[in-house]
Amino acid sequence: MTNFRSSYQLFLADLDGVIYEGKRAIDGAVDSIVSLQRSGIPVGFVTNNSSRKPETIAAQLAEFGLPVDPSSIISSARTGAELLSKSMPAGSRVLVVGGEGLRDQVTKAGFEVVSTVDEMPAAVIQGFSPDVAWHMLAEASYAIQKGAKWFATNSDWTIPQDKGMAPGNGTLISAIHTAVGQLPTVAGKPEPAIFGTALEHFGIPGSATLFIGDRLDTDILGANRSGIDSAVVMTGVCTRKELLAAKAESRPTYILGDLTEILGKYESPKQTKRGYKCSGAEVELLGNKVRVTAGDPKSLGALKATTALIWSSSTPIYGLDVEPELYE
């Protein structure tokens, strides 16, 4: 059994899909974070959202009943501005494609924000905003072709919205990539840079940190690349099917149903003669068939046992016959 609060000195969490979903707080998430805060454990928030200022995000969290210092919100805009500072002198002109949060961070870093190639920018930094239009992508493309260095806050292909999944910053990056034939330096998850910003801010090593997210391709992959233990919560983007098929580099250290489980003890799957068991569920590998032999196949225990079995199998998942109830 793992006791999270005694095992880690710092908790870092994603926001959308972990703390809230759109304009709604996820059940139990706020109370769980508040409980950690009252225990004296620092909690930071690492987000690829670069369109809003940390103060704006903090105000939203406060409305949910979660008091947060804006400085503890580590955005990809902040890390993107840090990458700019390491690459060019203060005062350089930077063409910003993105929202208020990104423009604010670039300005605070001492750069002059411009919006057209005619202003001779030394760099382009691109982040998501629902207001990004074709002419902005075109100006960025022209500047990059003329030699401007290209940075991006994040490369998420999709972004969750109230109505469903929508194109994310990665989709907009691909539009410019098609025009210029090169790729940007990326600040946000899954790249290690944003995790480095968070660890430096809190002054706690990655070995004593747990990162909590809902996406394997950004949150979990990024934490793994940064040497940080990770937990995926099943309240956001990640599905059971995606988790079972996860490649080694995107597999979390822990699997949580929701954030409330961070306050209790974590039960890891235990190996049996033919498979694994966890929390009353048992899953076995019978030839190439993955079958539940005890417990509810829809339970979190069954999911944890099945991931342990599949991830440790010498047969890739496409060669296994997995009981549908485990992933549907």
Q: Cα angle at 175 between 170 and 179, to 5 degrees? A: 135
Q: Strand 229-233 vs strand 164-167: parallel, antiparallel, or unpaired? A: unpaired
Q: Using CB atoms within 10 A of its CB, is residue 60 exposed (0-12), middle (13-18) or buried (19+)?
A: middle
Is residue 14 part of the annotated active site? The answer reads yes
Please state the separation of Cα 185 from the chain's center in Å: 17
Which residue among the candidates 16, 217, 219, 229 is catalytic per the annotation?
A: 16
* Residue pair 140/95 in contact by the 8 Å Cβ criterion: yes
Report how far residue 280's alpha carbon sits from residue 231's, in angstroms, rounded to the nearest whole number.
21
- Using CB atoms within 10 Å of the CB of residue 7, give its burial: 0 to 12 exposed, 13 to 18 middle, 19+ buried: exposed
Chain CA centroid to CA 202, Å: 18
* Residue 38 near residue 237, CB atoms below 8 Å: no
Active-site annotation holder among 14, 214, 217, 229: 14
Told to judge if 104 belongs to the known catalytic residues of this protein, a careful annotator would answer no
How does strand 321-322 pair with strand 289-294? parallel
Active site residues: 14, 16
